[in-house]
Amino acid sequence: MSSDHPTSAPTTSTEHPILEMRGITKTFPGVKALQDVTLNVRRGEVHAICGENGAGKSTLMKVLSGIYPHGTYEGDILFEGKPCEFRTIRDSEHRGIVIIHQELALSPYLSIAENIFLGNEQSSRGVIDWTKTNLEAAKLLARVGLTESPDTKIIDIGVGKQQLVEIAKALSKRVKLLILDEPTAALNDEDSAHLLDLIRSLKGQGITSIIISHKLNEIAAIADSTTVIRDGRSIETLDMHGAEPVTEERIIRGMVGRSLDQRFPHRSATIGEEALRIEDWTVHHPVQHERVVVDAANLSVRRGEVVGIAGLMGAGRTELAMSVFGRTYGSNIRGRVVKDGQEVRLHSVSDAIKAGIAYVSEDRKRYGLNLINDVKRNITASALGKVSRWGVMDANGETRIANRYRTDMNIKTPTVDALVGNLSGGNQQKVVLSKWVFTDPDVLILDEPTRGIDVGAKYEIYTIINRLAEEGKAVIVISSELPELLGLCDRIYALSQGRITGEVSREDATQENLMRYMTMERETSR
């Protein structure tokens, strides 16, 4: 399969690659996580690594950065032509290889400057030189284009800026090879664009980058070459500036080993009665009570319909959903929720579940799952009443139900007794979906249902969403990815600064007009 059309990147004899990984094999008890992986990164390029979740991308980067020390894997690593035998991350950082993980590793209550020099304090004789610390930090911040003061605490800046601080921190270590693991996963479009610009400008300064990403459009925009990894093997390396243009479909073909004709499955919509309507919904910030987060929003969804909510990060999408879902967000909430033509008052999550509403959180690890518990107990967690009598659990019934969802949703797990924390992101998401489908809701609110999961699993999630709609459920999908909304929804609302600024039908919706609504400013200044 791999040797079909290897469009290998042209490496001229004069330029030695900055990094060569040869024949890397990493085995865990019972599993070959990496098998004979080869990676060549040219000096000064942006090299993307693509692959489904669980393909081995992160493992490969852990091998490279010394998290898996030399000796625990087979194969050779050459950095700047010299062999590497890293035992710890410090060893690799010493050589100029810095990895920035998806989950940022910053200390929230320390300042930007303190974080940048954490473990590398600017001191003389053990006493920290604060002037030097802040001065150097300011220089680094300028290089990454961040205008915050070095004194600002990390907790006071957004995720996008935190990402920049991480990069500044890497720069302070005289980085030569910067590895970014899913750098834009948590960022909105604007912050993502800024980050990509920064990576380009670092390239201009001679810094080589490896970027792991699921967002193929970003890869197409920024990468000079792309290595595709599938099932622990390096499949191919594509030259992004080659004669044949590399499309997203081309990359996907390598990732899944087949071509996805459609990225969105077909659905025949039979739209019925209105299931849920929200009228004049106004929500204030839970702590800063005077701040309006959702402003007089009106929206409705019918049975069998999939409705999208588009909005930039901070537009109030999650806040809208959670405030409706048993008032789990916000204060001073006003407005009406009408379910099947009748007004309902949802004061708690159990009220909402009883009313037939389910909310699948955007952050499944934090809000959706009990990672240290097993699959079956997670699936039944929201509807224990259905698997118990007089408060006593029916253990066999529970296992049977869990097994049913395991088949229905195609959850890849050895047994339903496996810990959810050990599953891949896509399978975890299927567990969360199962959990909420098991509550037998009429209305499902899905917040970023495909965040951080790979292309193949995305397709499966889309299929499940379509199936739910075909069963007559009303589905609301909140997503940052406009193509996803366009591919999935019958109708899309755009949200900007807490207000619904537009509503477009499937036929009229384009990325451009949605984006225009999403960025619409408030007419009256506050």
Partner 1 sequence: MSSIKQALGGDLRQYGIVGALIAIVLLFQITTDGKLLLPNNIASLVQQNAYVMILAIGMVIVIIAGHIDLSVGSIIAFIGGIVALAMKDAGMHWLVAVLIGLALGAVVGAWQGFWVAYVGIPAFIVTLAGMLIFRGLAIVIVGETVAGLPGSFNAISNGYLPNWLGFVANRDAVTLVLGAVSIAALVLSQVRARRNTLKHGLHADPLGAFVAKVVVSAALIGYLAWVLAGSRGGAPIVLVLVGVLIITYSFIMGKTVFGRHVYAIGGNLHAAILSGVNTRRVNFMIFVNIGLLTGVAALVTTSKAGAAVASAGNMYELDAIAACFIGGAAVTGGVGRVSGAIVGALIMGVLNMGLSIMTVDSAWQQAIKGLVLLLAVAFDLINKRRAGTR
Binding site for partner 1 (CB under 8 A): 28, 31, 33, 325-326, 328, 348-350, 352-353, 359, 361, 366-373, 377, 381-382, 384-385, 388, 391-393, 395-397, 399-400, 403, 415, 417, 435
Could you tell me whether strands 46-50 and 208-212 are parallel, antiparallel, or unpaired per DSSP bridges? parallel
Name residue, tokens 């490969």.
60
Whichever of 188 and 403 has its CB closer to partner 1, that residue is: 403
Burial class of 338 by CB neighbour count within 10 A (0 to 12, 13 to 18, 19+): middle
Name residue, tokens 């692959």.
51
In the complex, minimum distance from the CB of residue 102 to partner 1, in angstroms, rounded to a whole number? 17
In the complex, minimum distance from the CB of residue 384 to partner 1, in angstroms, rounded to a whole number? 5
Whichever of 17 and 330 has its CB closer to partner 1, that residue is: 330
Question: How far is residue 121's CA from residue 484's CA, in Å, rounded to a whole number?
Answer: 45
Whichever of 127 and 392 has its CB closer to partner 1, that residue is: 392
Name residue, tokens 């225009």.
516
Closest CA to 211 of 182, 188, 247: 182
Question: How far is residue 463's CA from residue 460's CA, in Å, rounded to a whole number?
Answer: 5
Q: Which two tokens stand for residue 13?
A: 């004899």
Whichever of 383 and 518 has its CB closer to partner 1, that residue is: 383
Question: How far is residue 437's CA from residue 435's CA, in Å, rounded to a whole number?
Answer: 6
In the complex, minimum distance from the CB of residue 461 to partner 1, in angstroms, rounded to a whole number? 19
**In DSSP terms, which residues pair with 49 in a beta bridge?**
212, 227
Question: How far is residue 308's CA from residue 486's CA, in Å, rounded to a whole number?
Answer: 8
- How many CA within 13 A on the CB side of residue 211? 32
Whichever of 11 and 399 has its CB closer to partner 1, that residue is: 399
One-letter amino acid of 383: A
In the complex, minimum distance from the CB of residue 185 to partner 1, in angstroms, rounded to a whole number? 20
In the complex, minimum distance from the CB of residue 496 to partner 1, in angstroms, rounded to a whole number? 26
Question: How far is residue 232's CA from residue 75's CA, in Å, rounded to a whole number?
Answer: 14
In the complex, minimum distance from the CB of residue 425 to partner 1, in angstroms, rounded to a whole number? 15
Closest CA to 56 of 177, 228, 196: 228
Whichever of 198 and 432 has its CB closer to partner 1, that residue is: 432
Is-contact 490 506, C-beta < 8 A?
A: yes
Whichever of 301 and 369 has its CB closer to partner 1, that residue is: 369
In the complex, minimum distance from the CB of residue 337 to partner 1, in angstroms, rounded to a whole number? 17
**In DSSP terms, which residues pair with 477 in a beta bridge?**
308, 446
* 132-157 burial: b if 16+ Cβ within 10 Å, else e: ebbebbbebbebbebebebebebeeb
In the complex, minimum distance from the CB of residue 329 to partner 1, in angstroms, rounded to a whole number? 10
Torsion, Cα 68 69 75 76, to 10 degrees, reads 120
Q: How many residues does the chain have?
A: 526
In the complex, minimum distance from the CB of residue 71 to partner 1, in angstroms, rounded to a whole number? 14
In the complex, minimum distance from the CB of residue 410 to partner 1, in angstroms, rounded to a whole number? 20
Is-contact 92 66, C-beta < 8 A?
A: yes
Whichever of 397 and 456 has its CB closer to partner 1, that residue is: 397
Whichever of 160 and 326 has its CB closer to partner 1, that residue is: 326
Whichever of 258 and 400 has its CB closer to partner 1, that residue is: 400
Let me know the angle formed at the C-alpha of 469 by 464 and 470, rounded to the nearest 5 degrees: 95
